[in-house]
């Protein structure tokens, strides 16, 4: 048992390190390291331009989307090489945030279902960051129940074979700066909900698309509503067969769950640091047994996640598929982050009310964390959906009884029509 | 990155599991729990024959001379089976104290017997309720004789010898504590069997009336040796707890699949599914933290003290969580004597205390993280 690279991994790491050392935008390093919680603050630099420049540079040298085949803009690298790249790229990896959905989820879906010609046209610019993609999945009436989506795709009446899209998507990250998207729609409302869906890809510049940013509860805007009014998509941009959209979307979501190695932050190191500085009546907070007990609980969660990740990497290193234990990450880190923020606030007492980074302890980090953390427990699968996934796919417990499973979609009761 | 047990080590774990499945079903645990029989002697002899009692004991002393990773996989299986034998006392404590601080003569006298299962060893330090600190150790050592009492000594009724923490210099500080090797068969030692929360593992009070004892390790070094050995024992015990947690989770899962209520398996209700998912999360975190401890133990890493506290805190949480919620999943049946749930509940709460309480280990963990951050 050891944490060492194999000789081949060590050679690869050295090559990666040398290239990054020679090419990374070092002037941004300090700002990237102090950014967090959905905000990338780079002094005097446009984050989008910086992100695209770094991605382009990587692509030109063959370091973009490492695990993709070379002909689509990748490097044909192994999963463990991709992880090593990620470890070495930190903190510059934060610049790639706007590409994660496109490269992590849309790209693999296009790769699995588009024509060869389309793959050669769209994947290399996606890898190089020249075209940003988003994913048009969630809807106001379909969040956890994604298959309950209602955006319609109907054959055009002019006999062209095109599809006409009407409806609304929500929670679309980055729609306002995306060039392309994958879109899941309902093509047949008369069959049960999972069976009437079809997937497409399209340009976000297509006429009839309207994008409205959502102002979030914490005051920021990272997501959008996207409205479709008679948007026309050629049939050639369909991904998978008509009615197979659910199956296609599972490819997308599976790729989301396979991406590992990044490791979610729980905020524990920052809290520990705060406890070593903050004075109470009986000395430093970290010396108080009650504080220590709480800290120990979050410490073992944080360490446990770290080493769960290492176990997955070990499987990758041996060329195996990681086990299901990796599915616990967000379920542990999300609630921990929220509890840690609340406890850090409690330690600060009245002063914890102040969120101004210029005045608040740790530059207002815990206040920002407090206000952002509710989203972490919802986005990409709520805590409750994640528990269902563990219970059903890992422990083998029965799926929920789904009263709408065999009912034609247009006869399922909804909040709107009761 | 190779943060995993080797195929050979896993094979050894599988072998131990097969052996224990055959020789230590829960009926064997109950046989000890429900009678005056202090431990399962046939199982103990079988474990000795398999070599499991001397995994890390060097070959020159009759052991297998293997490493701690091998011992960790066996410890997990012992925990899974709730083995009613003095394994942790003899292997995690007595053997470790001898290896850490024993003289050549002491090792030669006892390690071969421990490896063969011909002798049982244990460790005694607690004297009263509350966390054991240097101040609480008041059993007196003078001129090679011990006077005083120790309580809740694991396997104190059956052990041939004990390592005893005693006060060799008056006062309350840790430098006045030394360790002694004491044969428990002498007439100056009185053993009293105690009624405990888990009768499948015996505990006794030991009274020493001028009992003959020989120093183990240097005088005044007792507390520091104790801390080192407890760190090692904490990691090994963590694997015992991980094994128990996994089995309790499996029992809960199996019952949820089979038990019908309101016309469907109870495992189809989200309240039950989510409880079991949370048990899986605890067990997974504990396993990963246990691997961290196993790595530190097997490599002698400088991080061993914090890895030990991490593994210990996490494993205690997981086993207690899984054992108590296994009863909850079983509902009323889980609270019957006939169902095995209480065996795991009892053991999880015993193991949560046997090397010091959870709050003691939480405190150690944070103190150690702080020391590392300051360094």
Which CATH number goes with the domain that contains A52?
Answer: 1.10.540.10
Residue B184 in contact with residue B150, Cβ under 8 Å?
Answer: no
**Min Cα separation A414/chain B (Å):** 21
Closest residue of B to A294, CA-based? B362
| pLDDT higher than threshold 70 for residue B364 | yes
Orientation angle between helical segments A268-275 and A365-376, nearest 10 degrees: 150
Residues 6+ apart with CB under 8 A from B353: none
Q: Are residues A140 and A85 in the same domain?
A: no
Radius of gyration for chain A, computed over Cα atoms and rounded to the nearest angstrom = 23
**Min Cα separation B16/chain A (Å):** 20
CA angle B200, B205, B206 (to 5 degrees): 125
* Active-site residue set of A: 256
Residues 6+ apart with CB under 8 A from A157: none
Q: Are residues A158 and A71 in the same domain?
A: no
Q: Are residues A265 and A208 in the same domain?
A: no
Cβ pair A315:B369 closer than 8 A: no
Give the tokens for residue A291: 């504080």
Q: Are residues A234 and A146 in the same domain?
A: yes
Q: Round to whole Å and give the CA distance between A262 and A306.
A: 10
* Residue B224 CB neighbours (<10 A): 15
Residue B27 in contact with residue B95, Cβ under 8 Å?
Answer: no
Q: Round to whole Å and give the CA distance between A111 and A238.
A: 13
Question: Structurally, what CATH architecture does the domain formed by B7-119 represent?
Answer: Orthogonal Bundle (1.10)
Q: What is the pLDDT along chain A (418 residues), one digit of tens a residue?
A: 988 899 999 999 999 999 999 999 999 998 888 766 555 677 788 989 999 999 999 999 999 999 999 999 999 998 889 889 988 998 899 899 899 999 989 999 999 999 999 999 999 999 999 999 999 999 998 778 889 999 999 999 999 999 999 999 999 999 999 999 999 999 999 999 999 999 999 999 999 999 999 999 988 888 999 999 999 999 999 999 999 999 999 877 766 555 544 467 789 999 999 999 999 888 999 999 999 999 999 999 999 999 998 898 888 888 887 777 777 988 999 999 999 999 999 999 999 999 999 999 988 999 999 999 999 899 888 999 999 999 999 999 999 888 888 899 999 887 765 4
Which residue, of A127, A157, A178, is where some domain finishes? Answer: A127
A399 part of contact set with chain B, CB < 8 Å: yes
Per the DSSP assignment, residues forming a β-bridge with B162 are B122, B182
A358 part of contact set with chain B, CB < 8 Å: no
**Min Cα separation A275/chain B (Å):** 10
Of B256, B281, B289, Cβ closest to residue A307: B289
Q: Are residues A116 and A138 in the same domain?
A: no
A307 part of contact set with chain B, CB < 8 Å: yes
* DSSP H/E element including A248: helix A245-258
Which residue, of A76, A94, A127, is where some domain finishes? Answer: A127
Residue B39 in contact with residue B32, Cβ under 8 Å?
Answer: yes
Q: Are residues A72 and A175 in the same domain?
A: no
Going by the DSSP 8-state scheme, the letter that residue B25 receives in this structure is -
Q: Determine if the peptide bond prior to A91 is cis (ω within 30°).
A: yes
Q: What does each C-alpha distance from B61 to A325, B65, B87, B107, B109 come to in angstroms?
A: 40, 9, 18, 8, 9
pLDDT tens across B229-251, in order?
A: 999 999 999 999 999 999 999 99
Residue A289 within any structural domain of the chain: yes
Cβ pair A303:B289 closer than 8 A: yes
A384 part of contact set with chain B, CB < 8 Å: yes
Task: For tokens 């909040």, name the residue.
Answer: A415
| pLDDT higher than threshold 60 for residue B356 | yes
Choose among A328, A171, A213, A87: nearest CA to B281. A328
Q: Round to whole Å and give the CA distance between A398 and B266.
A: 9
Cβ pair A398:B265 closer than 8 A: yes
Chain B residues inside the 8 Å CB shell of A400: 268, 270
Residue A173 in contact with residue A101, Cβ under 8 Å?
Answer: yes
User: What's residue A79's pLDDT?
Assistant: 82
Provide φ and ψ at A384, rounded to 5°: -70, -40
Q: What does DSSP say about strands A133-136 and A180-186: parallel, antiparallel, or unpaired?
A: parallel
DSSP string, A21-90: HHHS-GGGHHHHHH-BTTB---TTS-HHHHHHHHHHHHHHTT-SSTTS-GGGTS----HHHHHHHHHHHT
Q: Round to whole Å and give the CA distance between B314 and B284.
A: 10
**Residue extents of the structural domains in chain B:** 7-119, 122-220, 223-374
Q: Are residues A150 and A227 in the same domain?
A: yes
Q: Are residues A220 and A280 in the same domain?
A: no
Beta carbon pairs, A and B, within 8 Å: 167
Which residue, of A127, A158, A180, is where some domain finishes? Answer: A127
Of A9, A310, A387, Cβ closest to residue B3: A310
* DSSP H/E element including B181: strand B177-183
Q: Round to whole Å and give the CA distance between A149 and B92.
A: 58
Task: For tokens 């979030």, name the residue.
Answer: A216
Determine the structural domain holding residue A61 and report its residue range.
7-127
Q: How far does Cα A347 stand from its chain's mean position?
A: 32
Task: For tokens 């080192």, name the residue.
Answer: B228
Q: What does DSSP say about strands B177-183 and B161-167: parallel, antiparallel, or unpaired?
A: antiparallel
Q: Round to whole Å and give the CA distance between B123 and B159.
A: 10
The domain made up of B223-374 has a fold known as: Butyryl-CoA Dehydrogenase, subunit A; domain 3 (1.20.140)
Query: What is the predicted ipTM?
Result: 0.95
Give the tokens for residue B289: 């933290």
Q: Round to whole Å and give the CA distance between A396 and B40.
A: 35
Q: Are residues A242 and A264 in the same domain?
A: no
Residue A165 in contact with residue A228, Cβ under 8 Å?
Answer: yes
Orientation angle between helical segments B270-299 and B68-81, nearest 10 degrees: 150
Of A1, A388, A390, Cβ closest to residue B3: A1
Give the tokens for residue B299: 């490599």
Handedness of CA B204, B205, B206, B209 (dihedral sign): negative
Q: What is the mean pLDDT of chain B?
A: 97
Cβ pair B270:A388 closer than 8 A: yes
Cβ pair B289:A328 closer than 8 A: no
Q: Are residues A94 and A167 in the same domain?
A: no
CA angle A38, A39, A42 (to 5 degrees): 150
Q: Are residues A99 and A149 in the same domain?
A: no
Residue A391 within any structural domain of the chain: no
Chain B residues inside the 8 Å CB shell of A314: 1-4
**Min Cα separation A380/chain B (Å):** 18
Chain A residues inside the 8 Å CB shell of B373: 272-273, 276
pLDDT tens across B250-281, in order?
A: 999 999 999 999 999 999 999 999 999 999 99
pLDDT tens across B83-129, in order?
A: 999 999 999 999 999 999 999 999 999 999 999 999 999 999 999 99
Cβ pair A311:B4 closer than 8 A: yes
* Residue A302 CB neighbours (<10 A): 25
Q: Which of B1, B10, B360, B371 to mutate to test the interface with A (most CBs of A within 10 A)?
A: B1
Confidence category of residue B25, pLDDT binned at 50, 70, 90: very high
Residues 6+ apart with CB under 8 A from A102: A126, A131, A132, A133, A134, A178, A180
Orientation angle between helical segments A329-348 and A268-275, nearest 10 degrees: 20
Residue A182 in contact with residue A136, Cβ under 8 Å?
Answer: yes
Please give the class, per CATH, of domain B122-220.
Answer: mainly beta
Domain total for chain A?
Answer: 3
Of A2, A300, A400, Cβ closest to residue B285: A300
Q: Is B85 exposed, middle or buried (0-12, 13-18, 19+ CB in 10 A)?
A: buried
Residues 6+ apart with CB under 8 A from A138: A146, A149, A169, A170, A171, A172
SS3 state of residue B252: helix
Whether B122-220 and B7-119 are alike in CATH topology: the answer is no
Q: Are residues A276 and A364 in the same domain?
A: yes
Cβ pair B3:A80 closer than 8 A: no
CATH number of the CATH domain containing A313: 1.20.140.10
Residue A91 in contact with residue A34, Cβ under 8 Å?
Answer: no
**Min Cα separation A114/chain B (Å):** 36
A300 part of contact set with chain B, CB < 8 Å: yes
């Amino acid at each position: 048992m050891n944490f060492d690279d194999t000789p081949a991994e060590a050679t690869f790491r050295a090559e990666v390190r040398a290239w990054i050392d020679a090419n990374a935008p070092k002037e941004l390093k300090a700002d990237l390291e102090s950014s967090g919680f959905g905000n990338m603050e780079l002094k005097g630099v446009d984050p989008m331009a910086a992100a695209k420049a770094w991605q382009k540079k990587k692509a030109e040298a063959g370091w973009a989307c490492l695990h993709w085949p070379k002909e689509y803009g990748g490097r044909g690298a192994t999963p463990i090489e991709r992880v090593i790249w990620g470890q070495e790229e930190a903190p510059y990896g934060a610049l790639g945030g706007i590409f994660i959905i496109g490269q992590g989820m849309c790209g693999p879906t296009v790769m699995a279902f588009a024509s060869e010609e389309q793959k050669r046209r769209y994947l290399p610019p996606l890898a190089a960051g020249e075209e940003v993609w988003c994913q048009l999945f969630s809807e106001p009436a379909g969040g956890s129940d994604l298959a309950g989506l209602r955006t319609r795709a109907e054959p055009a009446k002019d006999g062209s074979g095109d599809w006409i899209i009407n409806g609304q998507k929500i929670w679309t990250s980055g729609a306002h700066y995306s060039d392309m998207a994958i879109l899941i729609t309902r093509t047949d409302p008369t069959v049960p909900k999972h069976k009437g869906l079809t997937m497409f890809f399209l340009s976000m510049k297509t006429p009839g698309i309207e994008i409205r940013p959502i102002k979030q509860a914490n005051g920021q805007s990272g997501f959008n509503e996207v409205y479709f009014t008679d948007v026309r998509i050629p049939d050639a941009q369909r991904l998978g067969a008509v009615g197979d959209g659910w199956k296609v979307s599972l490819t997308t979501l599976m790729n989301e769950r396979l991406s590992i190695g990044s490791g979610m932050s729980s905020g524990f190191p920052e809290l520990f640091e705060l406890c070593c500085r903050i004075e109470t009546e009986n000395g430093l907070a970290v010396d108080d047994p009650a504080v220590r007990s709480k800290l120990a609980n979050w410490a073992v969660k944080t360490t446990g996640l770290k080493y769960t990740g290492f176990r997955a990497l070990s499987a990758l290193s041996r060329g195996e598929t990681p086990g299901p234990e990796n599915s616990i990450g967000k379920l542990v880190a999300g609630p921990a982050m929220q509890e840690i923020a609340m406890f850090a606030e409690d330690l600060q007492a009245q002063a914890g009310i102040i969120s101004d980074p210029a005045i608040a302890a740790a530059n207002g980090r815990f206040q920002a964390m407090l206000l952002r953390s509710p989203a972490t427990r919802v986005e990409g699968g709520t805590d409750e959906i994640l528990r269902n996934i563990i219970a059903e796919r890992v422990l083998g417990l029965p799926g929920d009884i789904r009263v709408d499973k065999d009912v034609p979609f247009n006869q399922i009761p909804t909040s709107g029509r009761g | 990155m190779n943060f995993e047990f080797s195929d050979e080590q896993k094979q050894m774990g599988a072998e131990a599991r097969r052996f224990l499945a055959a020789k230590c079903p829960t009926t064997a645990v109950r046989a000890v729990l429900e009678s005056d029989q202090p431990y399962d002697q046939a199982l103990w002899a079988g474990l000795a024959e398999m070599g499991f009692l001397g995994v890390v004991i060097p070959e020159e002393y009759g052991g297998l001379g293997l490493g701690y990773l091998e011992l960790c996989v066996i410890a997990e299986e012992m925990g899974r089976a709730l083995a009613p034998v003095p394994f942790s006392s003899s292997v995690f404590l007595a053997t470790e104290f001898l290896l850490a601080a024993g003289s050549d003569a002491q090792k030669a006298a006892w390690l071969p017997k421990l490896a063969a299962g011909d002798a049982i060893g244990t460790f005694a330090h607690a004297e009263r309720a509350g966390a054991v600190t240097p101040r609480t150790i008041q059993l007196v050592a003078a001129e090679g004789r011990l006077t005083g009492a120790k309580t809740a000594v694991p396997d104190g009724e059956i052990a041939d010898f004990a390592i005893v923490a005693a006060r060799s210099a008056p006062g309350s500080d840790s430098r006045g504590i030394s360790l002694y090797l004491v044969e428990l068969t002498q007439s100056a030692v009185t053993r009293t069997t105690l009624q405990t929360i888990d009768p499948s593992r015996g505990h006794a009070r030991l009274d020493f009336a001028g009992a003959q004892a020989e120093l183990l390790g240097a005088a005044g070094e007792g507390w520091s040796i104790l801390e080192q050995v407890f760190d090692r024992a904490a990691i090994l015990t963590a694997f015992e707890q991980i094994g128990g947690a996994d089995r309790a989770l499996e029992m809960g899962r199996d019952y949820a699949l089979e038990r019908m209520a309101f016309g469907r398996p109870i495992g189809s209700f989200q309240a039950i599914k989510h409880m079991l998912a949370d048990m899986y999360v605890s067990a997974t975190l504990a396993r990963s933290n246990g691997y961290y401890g196993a790595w530190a133990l097997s490599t002698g890493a400088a991080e061993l003290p914090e890895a030990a506290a991490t593994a210990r805190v996490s494993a205690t949480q997981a086993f207690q969580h899984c054992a108590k919620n296994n009863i909850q999943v079983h509902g009323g049946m889980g609270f019957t004597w006939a169902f095995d749930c209480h065996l795991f509940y009892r053991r999880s709460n015993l193991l949560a205390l046997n090397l010091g309480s959870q709050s003691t280990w939480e405190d150690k963990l944070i103190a150690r993280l702080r020391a590392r951050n300051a360094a």
